[in-house]
């Protein structure tokens, strides 16, 4: 299904070439940054990641989400990977990040790279490459990832708590948060499509189902039949159960997310919010109507764009020896 629905890899790469031509040298990033210092870097990332994804396809979603959460706080600098210390609570321990998983995968990739090319490949570049390859391995598009990022030394939990886009956010807040990072309204609609994979915890939709306005009611923007189905899985007070973001294909990267949102079956309030703005609503309906005719190309372009947010390059930051701690 994914092969038929998404643009062929070759076509996508050609389409992205125009975008990358203008970005290749921007911010110090470039395609093939490690071609001399570590020519097998991207191959090592791919091969190491495959050992994990081949055993557990559900890892793709949190690894993609990890890159997203990294870039939205202090830019794409690997700060989400740093562990807390006695004197500092890091982003990793902020409430929105406590459900992230796959840090062991990043550590395994870093270890493999350090054996081959010690002190060369940054953790922030690993995150960007892993996100791309994880999507590709479950049927999604390929895009070229400019590299050359360096790792930050600061990670603060409260920055993640207050600045990451929330599953409870309305369209106004979402547009403001994306705009603050240099991303467009279209990027918001496109990157939301990443919810075609992964799961959500019942605690995140409890209010939508049982107490939306504080009067024991259900969110009226949610399809009543879907709400009834969710209530069977998510009983009041249930904090352990998870539900699929894209029921039926949550392990495959495809455009079904937009059909679900168009039917008012988006799991989070932030998904439903895409129907509250003319531009995002038009994008949702277009992808739903055309079976995602441009989604693969659009997703690759928006991921490349996101990967430039606040990058450290040149002599800024550092190349961590271990991704969880500063040097």
Segment 284-297, tens digit of pLDDT: 999 999 999 999 99
Provide the annotated binding site for Ca(2+).
70, 75, 77, 79, 91, 196, 246, 254
> What pLDDT, on a 0 to 100 scale, did the predictor assign at position 201?
92
> What pLDDT, on a 0 to 100 scale, did the predictor assign at position 7?
42
> What pLDDT, on a 0 to 100 scale, did the predictor assign at position 282?
98
69 is known as an active-site residue:
yes
Q: Nearest 5 degrees, angle CA 314-CA 317-CA 318?
A: 90
Q: Any idea where the domains of the chain sit in the sequence?
A: 2-164, 189-300
Phi, psi of 153 (to 5 degrees): -115, 0
Low-confidence ranges of the chain (pLDDT < 50): 1-12, 14-26
> What pLDDT, on a 0 to 100 scale, did the predictor assign at position 18?
43
Q: Return d(Cα 294, Cα 300) in angstroms, integer.
A: 10
Burial class (CB in 10 A: 0-12, 13-18, 19+), 144: middle
Provide the annotated binding site for heme b.
195
> What pLDDT, on a 0 to 100 scale, did the predictor assign at position 2?
43
**Are the CB atoms for 219 and 208 separated by under 8 Å?**
yes
Catalytic hit among 46, 67, 69, 142: 69
131-148 pLDDT tens trace: 999 999 999 999 999 999
Give a three-class secondary structure readout of the chain. Answer: CHHHHCCCHHHHHHHHHHHHHHHCCHHHCECCCCCCCCCCHHHHHHHHHHHHHCCCHHHHHHHHHHHHHHHHCCCCCCHHHCCCECCECCHHHCHHHCCCCCHHHHHHHHHHHHHHCCCCCCHHHHHHHHHHHHHHHCCCCCCCCCECCEECCCCCHHHHHHHCCCCCCCHHHHHHHHHHCCCCHHHHHHHHHHHHCCEEEHHHCHHHHHCCCCCCCCCCCCCHHHHHHHHHHCCCCCCCCEEECCCCCCCCCCCHHHHHHHCCCCCCHHHHHHHHCHHHHHHHHHHHHCCCCCHHHHHHHHHHHHCCCCCECCCCCECCCECCECC
CATH H-level superfamily of 189-300: Peroxidase, domain 2 (1.10.420.10)
> What pLDDT, on a 0 to 100 scale, did the predictor assign at position 320?
98
Burial class (CB in 10 A: 0-12, 13-18, 19+), 30: middle
Q: Can you give the pTM of this predicted structure?
A: 0.90
> What pLDDT, on a 0 to 100 scale, did the predictor assign at position 237?
84
Q: Return d(Cα 116, Cα 27) in angstroms, integer.
A: 27
Q: Return d(Cα 31, Cα 47) in angstroms, integer.
A: 19
> What pLDDT, on a 0 to 100 scale, did the predictor assign at position 89?
97
Which CATH number among 3.40.710.10, 1.10.520.10, 2.60.120.10, 1.10.20.10 corresponds to the domain 2-164?
A: 1.10.520.10
**Residue 153 CB partners (closer than 8 Å, separation 6+):** 317, 318, 326
């Amino acid at each position: 299904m994914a092969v038929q629905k998404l643009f062929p890899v070759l076509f996508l790469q050609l389409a992205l070439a125009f975008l990358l031509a203008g970005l290749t040298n921007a911010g110090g990033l470039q395609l093939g940054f490690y071609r001399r210092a570590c020519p097998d870097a991207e191959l090592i990332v791919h091969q190491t990641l495959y050992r994990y994804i081949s055993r557990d396809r559900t890892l793709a979603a949190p690894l993609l989400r990890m890159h997203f959460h990294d870039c939205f706080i202090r830019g794409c600098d690997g700060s989400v990977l740093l562990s807390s210390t006695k004197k500092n609570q890091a982003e990793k321990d902020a409430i929105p990040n406590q459900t992230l998983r796959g840090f062991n995968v990043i550590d395994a990739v870093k270890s493999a790279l350090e054996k081959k090319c010690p002190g060369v490949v940054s953790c922030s570049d690993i995150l960007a490459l892993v996100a791309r390859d994880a999507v590709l391995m479950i049927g999604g598009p390929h895009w070229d990832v400019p590299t050359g990022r360096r790792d930050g030394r600061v990670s603060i939990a409260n920055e993640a708590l207050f600045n990451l886009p929330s599953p409870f956010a309305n369209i106004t807040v979402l547009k403001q948060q994306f705009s603050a990072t240099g991303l467009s309204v279209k990027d918001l609609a496109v990157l939301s499509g990443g919810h075609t994979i992964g799961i959500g915890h019942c605690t995140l939709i409890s209010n939508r189902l049982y107490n939306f306005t504080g009067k024991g009611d259900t969110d009226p923007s949610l399809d009543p039949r879907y709400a009834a189905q969710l209530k069977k899985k998510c009983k009041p007070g249930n904090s352990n159960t998870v539900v699929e973001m894209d029921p039926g294909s949550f392990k495959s990267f495809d455009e079904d997310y937009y059909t679900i949102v168009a039917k008012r079956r988006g799991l989070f309030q932030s998904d439903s919010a895409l129907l509250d703005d003319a531009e995002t609503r038009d994008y949702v309906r277009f992808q739903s109507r055309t079976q995602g005719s441009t989604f693969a190309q659009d997703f690759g372009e928006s991921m490349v764009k996101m990967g430039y947010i606040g990058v450290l390059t040149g002599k800024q930051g550092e190349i961590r020896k271990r991704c969880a701690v500063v040097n």
